[in-house]
A and B are shown apart, each in its own frame.
Chain A
């Protein structure tokens, strides 16, 4: 079955710096890759996603890149702010059914 690895497990950056989180997946049939943000004590919320027919997607300060050949995808956050502090989960899925496999998460701390 699918296996998703995520690095780093913790990340501290200064406010205004960029943050990058990387994930790798094992099943080449996976074609949908979302990123969820979970603030302390709150529910996970989708922040951005990418499908396998696209190499990059941006939404304001957030971007995701996908390398299908290497089977890895990355989340990029620019101009980080304290409210970006949270746990970020990557996931991989195929079209049919919902069997999302999540990475173990990255705890991002943005220091003022």
Chain B
């Protein structure tokens, strides 16, 4: 089985722009969650989608949004980018969500200038 795929691998944006990140889960996995990773804050939970519905949301501003499609692929959008949004964004998939193993993608490294 192919692993979790994230595109693009790197992104450079300027303040005020918006960005869309994509995540394709492992085939058969229905849950996709997103995390922000920064050197100082570790892994911070953004949100989780299951069957096209957002089930959980972390403590991030409304500029961060996401969606999931019928094939379980997910996108994350960040509007009005700020310098502090520079981070590695990781998505993870699992079969049914809940207390089970997460399979992480390689991440998208976002730099906001």
* Bound Cα distance A41, B15 (Å): 26
Cβ B45 vs Cβ A101 within 8 A:
yes
Of B18-26, B60-68, B93-101, the one touching chain A? B93-101
In the complex, which residue of chain B has the Cβ closest to the Cβ of A46? Answer: B101
Q: Which residues in window 53-72 of B have CB below 8 A to A?
A: 55-56, 58-59
Given contacts A43-B104, A43-B106, A45-B104, contact A96 B42 (CB under 8 A): no
In the complex, which residue of chain B has the Cβ closest to the Cβ of A31? Answer: B99
In the complex, which residue of chain B has the Cβ closest to the Cβ of A101? Answer: B45
Report if A51 contacts B (CB, 8 A). Answer: yes
Other-chain contact of B48, A1, A49, A97 (Cβ < 8 Å): A97
Give the number of residues in B that approach A within 8 Å (Cβ atoms). 27
Cβ A51 vs Cβ B105 within 8 A:
no
Given contacts A43-B90, A43-B107, A44-B90, contact A100 B102 (CB under 8 A): yes
Report if A80 contacts B (CB, 8 A). Answer: no
Of A13-21, A64-72, A102-110, the one touching chain B? A102-110
In the complex, which residue of chain A has the Cβ closest to the Cβ of B94? Answer: A98
Report if A24 contacts B (CB, 8 A). Answer: no
Cβ B101 vs Cβ A49 within 8 A:
yes
> Besides the contacts A98-B97, A102-B44, what 14 more A-B pairs have beta carbons closer than 8 Å?
A31-B99, A32-B99, A32-B100, A42-B106, A45-B104, A46-B102, A51-B99, A97-B48, A97-B50, A97-B55, A97-B97, A98-B98, A99-B48, A100-B102
